[in-house]
Amino acid sequence: MARDFSRIQIPQVLRFLSRIKILQDGCWEWTATLDTEGYGLFKAQGSQYAHRFSYQFFRNEMIPQDKEIDHLCRNRKCVNPNHLEIVTHRENCQRGILGETTRQRKLSRNCCSKGHPYNSETTYRTKEGWRVCRICKQEGQRQWRARTPNWRLVKNKRKFLALPIEERRKLLAEQASNPDVIAYYENIIEKEEVK
């Protein structure tokens, strides 16, 4: 909810400033009421988080509804506007203590969820940097192929469409057992014949 800070009176700002303690690391630590998570609460035009008030008042910048304030100093009591940044919820979680804990926990694992060891033979990394177990990946592909009887047609759709129409029909007759797949590819072939 957007707040109109033009109506903030000097006594409210002085009351806000009287509730901070400036630390050596530059944090403005909130000394008044805290919520259960350790964030400061301040009453000015209704109750709100002290760090949000600080950011909006001192930076004269509204916080979009789909964004959050991240404490760059990792001190939840800090209300220094220079230690605060507008970010998405996802980015805030990834940067936060919980995100770092999760990241460290995953990196400390020496095997996948099925118990296969992470080593150079059984593991590869995606371009995003995630570790993937080759054994689990291959097992997942085997299961998919078992569930998808016409997997060669589905997997090689580009190659299939590059073939001449007569060869497509021949391949379709040899490999397809599912009537829905046959109808799908026959429809594609008919559309191309019309062109």
Provide the β-strand partners of residue 43.
Answer: 47
pTM recorded for the entire structure: 0.50
Confidence of residue 7 (pLDDT cuts 50, 70, 90): low
Mean pLDDT across the chain, nearest whole number?
81
The encoded tokens of residue 7 equal 């109506």
Burial of 56 (0-12, 13-18, 19+ CB in 10 A): buried
Query: How would you classify the pairing of strands 28-30 and 20-22?
Result: antiparallel
Q: How many CB atoms lie within 10 A of CB 103?
A: 11
In this prediction, residues 27-35 reach a mean pLDDT of: 92
The encoded tokens of residue 54 equal 């600080």
pLDDT tens-digit series, residues 137-161: 999 888 877 776 666 665 666 777 7
* Spatial separation of the C-alpha atoms in residues 49 and 59, rounded to whole Å: 15
